[in-house]
Chain A
Amino acid sequence: MSEHTEHRLGAADAISEAPPADETSRVERAAAQTDETASWLTRTMNSPGMRNAALVLVLLFICVIGILTTGDLGENLFARKSNILTILRLGATTGVVSIGMTFVIIGGGIDLSVGAIVALASVWATTVATQDYGPAGIVLTAVAVGTAAGVINGVLVAYGRMAPFIATLAMLVSARGLAEEMSGRKTQTVTRQGFNDFFQAEPFGIPALVIMFAVVALIGWLILNRTTFGRRTFAIGGNSEAARLAGINVKRHTLLLYALLGFCCGIAAVMILARTTTGTSTHGLGYELDAIAAVVIGGTILSGGRGTIAGTVIGVLIFAAVNNIFALNNYTTSKQAIAKGLIIVAAVLFQQRINRNSRST
């Protein structure tokens, strides 16, 4: 039921932007067909569950490649517990950012400033003055700085009516600048051993960072799928005007989405502090692209209104696994970059195909 509502919203959105006439009729026909004659098969294929199942297949395929290219089964480099945990640990930091990014993109926005916010939060949390307050001071500062930067993004987008692309681009530049200014472009070491001990711990053999990622993903899933907040996010992303007419405070909700992403960046900053034991203005370089790519691969649509947390998690894992396989095989980063680009293109084409099939058959 909710799936159908989303389609209608999407179609209405398309019409309001006055597409060519033939396009309008095609969309209307397609919308009508999904309502009346969609077969069981296409409906299933178009459900988030099936799309994620396809993604899982892709991930499994990548894992098989990983196993085949890294030695005999007995001493396989890829399929070792420590390597799997390494993949998860390296994916965890961008993973947390990607969960927040999923919300913003489903809500019809985009945030280019996530990497810069992570850098700023990591620097602010490791100044000598902050570290005087101990491990709790470090964590609270990182999260507060991240959230505050997210709130500024949200205010600019929602109340300042700036295009998200521009507002967050400005934040990207200025947050990293502020981080450089604050740190004097030096690397700041975490001197509180308690902080390192806590976040580098491995309860039950699982690194704390992986547990943090899992918890953030689970809470994100609950918020998106089991709360009014989540449903409103879909509604706004599908058609913000319709959502406003339906009585949703679109501006406030948009602000909250960016604040939520800022909060996630704060957590990611804590994680990167734990991983590198330092805060610097060069942390988080390229996170915006990694996060957006993971979200898009995960089936979330850039124009908003549709997406899943599970898809994003799989998207993150696909990237982390590919990076790992290339490193295990001693390949260069240039080849990695090419592979990443191809994976993005393949994933998006694949999803478009599924969507088109479901509308026209």
Chain B
Amino acid sequence: MSKEEMNPSGFGRRGFLLGAGAVGAGAVLAGCTSNDDKKDAKPAAATNAAAPAAGNEAEGKKFTLGFSAPAADHGWIAAITNNAKDTAGKYKDITFKATEGTNDLNLQISQVETLINDKVGVLVILPHDGKALTAIGRKAMDAGIPVINLDRIFDSPLAYRTHIAGDNYGMGVAAGNYVAKVLKEKGVSGADAKIGEIAGIPSLPLTVDRSKGFADALGASGYKVTNSVPAAFTVESGSTAATQMLQAAPKLNAIWNHDDDQGVGVLAAIKQANRSEFFMVGGAGSRDAMDLIKADNSVLKATVTYSPSMASSAIKLARLLANGHGMGDLVEKDVPKIIILSSATITKDNVDSYLDTGFKS
């Protein structure tokens, strides 16, 4: 090895030319990185425009809002972060202070610590792992900063002022009810029905909850899941899982796919397998899925929501807390402790009213 190090001709003239060629190729390729799609209309923000200044919407006390969420490596989390930012931008009384999204628990903890030390007015936290960030939520509450716990719940109610989240079990129930209803209409009996499920990451509690809700709702109508394969919320995993499941089940009546992000791959696999004897239900509620449901030209006939619009609501809740307001139509003077969103079933009939909540995967 030492002799090689003394070799001075390692990067001679030819090497230089090669290098120059590579740089040139890089420059040409760099022209291809642009991603501005002029043809595509800007997707509507996932929040309703602030109503004319009145009541709770009127400009209130100025405060700093600290926001911390995991890395936006998935369309849904990206939508959460964007919704929070957009909604906060609509209010002049909010100074929005977001940390860089991370999946590193220690980093997220220290980021929240920094926000506490900066004495922000309200904290909105979507923890990467609710259990692991419980202590820091508690610390903020003890320091007198109200914490809004977004989606993944802390271990202790002492760690948050208000918890707002989607309903994973309810999402499964919504999907199961829809599948059972359509199968009944088609006259497929429980004994004959072949129902497939393409789940998310199997080790996550949310996947377990969704699958249980799906099975429970189907069971109540006399149906059951006959094929279940897990994917990993990525397009590629969705495509692989669906390809395998279509081989395992030569005939299917219905499929529930837990996640619209992986659904892109699932639909590609279904198309390539030339299968269309079943209908499919999606999950989460991406804009792509809604567009497909509206177009009604694929197997995708419905999706059950787990809407990232909850981030917009969390920002609004933060404003209410900062100003000491209650929630508009409710009688109580204070914001409730827990808000669980209901999972809506979006079909061709009602898709238009949900289009503005669809997130770009």
Contacts and interface: CB of A to CB of B under 8 A. Distances in A.
Interface string A262-279: 000000000010011110
Interface stretch (B107-115, B123-131, B236-244): B236-244
Interface string B223-264: 000011110101111111101110110100000000001001
A86 B243 contact: yes
A323 interface: yes
B240 A280 contact: no
Interface stretch (B23-31, B134-142, B168-176, B325-333): B23-31
Q: Describe B's contact surface by its main secondary structure.
A: helix
A53 interface: no
Contacts of A250: 4
Contact of B34 (A82, A128, A329): A128
B22 A151 contact: yes
B202 interface: yes
Interface in A173-203: 180, 182-189, 200
Given A77-B248, A89-B243, A144-B25, A185 B73 contact: yes
B1 interface: yes
B35 interface: yes
A241 interface: yes
B117 interface: no
Interface residues of A, number: 55
A142 to B, nearest CB: 11
A145 B29 contact: yes
Contacts of A185: 72-75, 78
B32 interface: yes
Contacts of A324: 244, 247
A187 B235 contact: yes
A144 B230 contact: no
A275 B240 CA distance: 9
B33 interface: yes
A330 interface: yes
A90 B244 contact: yes
A90 B236 contact: no
Interface in A132-147: 133, 137, 141, 144-145
Interface string A281-299: 1111100000000000000
Q: Describe A's contact surface by its main secondary structure.
A: helix
Identify the interface centre among B29, B31, B228: most chain A CB within 10 Å of its CB. Answer: B29
Given A144-B25, A148-B25, A280 B235 contact: yes
A151 B245 CA distance: 39
Nearest to A326: B244
Contact of B361 (A187, A277, A283, A330): A187
B10 interface: yes
Identify the interface centre among A127, A148, A282: most chain B CB within 10 Å of its CB. Answer: A282
Given A90-B240, A276-B235, A332-B202, A77 B29 contact: no
B240 to A, nearest CB: 6
B227 A330 contact: yes
A90 B243 contact: yes
Nearest to A187: B361
Contacts of B25: 144, 148
Contacts of B33: 124, 127, 129, 182
A275 B272 contact: yes
Contact of B37 (A128, A145, A276, A281): A128
A148 B73 contact: no
B5 interface: yes
A64 interface: no
A26 interface: no
B285 interface: no
A148 B361 contact: no
Contacts of A355: none
Contacts of A200: 272
Given A275-B272, A278-B235, A328 B244 contact: yes
B128 to A, nearest CB: 16
A25 interface: no
A130 interface: yes
Interface in A289-339: 323-324, 327-330, 332-334
Interface in B1-57: 1, 3-5, 10-11, 15, 22, 25-26, 29, 31-37
B344 interface: no
Nearest to B272: A200
8 contacts: A86-B244, A159-B10, A159-B15, A200-B272, A251-B10, A275-B239, A327-B244, A332-B202
Interface of A: 77, 80, 82-83, 86, 89-90, 124, 127-130, 133, 137, 141, 144-145, 148, 151, 159, 161, 180, 182-189, 200, 241, 244, 250-251, 272, 275-278, 280-285, 323-324, 327-330, 332-334
Ranked nearest first, the 4 interchain pairs of A and B with the lowest CB-CB distance are A327-B244, A282-B234, A129-B34, A130-B32
Given A151-B22, A284-B236, 18 more contacts: A77-B248, A86-B247, A128-B35, A129-B31, A130-B32, A133-B32, A159-B15, A182-B33, A186-B78, A186-B360, A187-B235, A275-B236, A275-B268, A275-B269, A276-B239, A278-B264, A327-B244, A333-B230
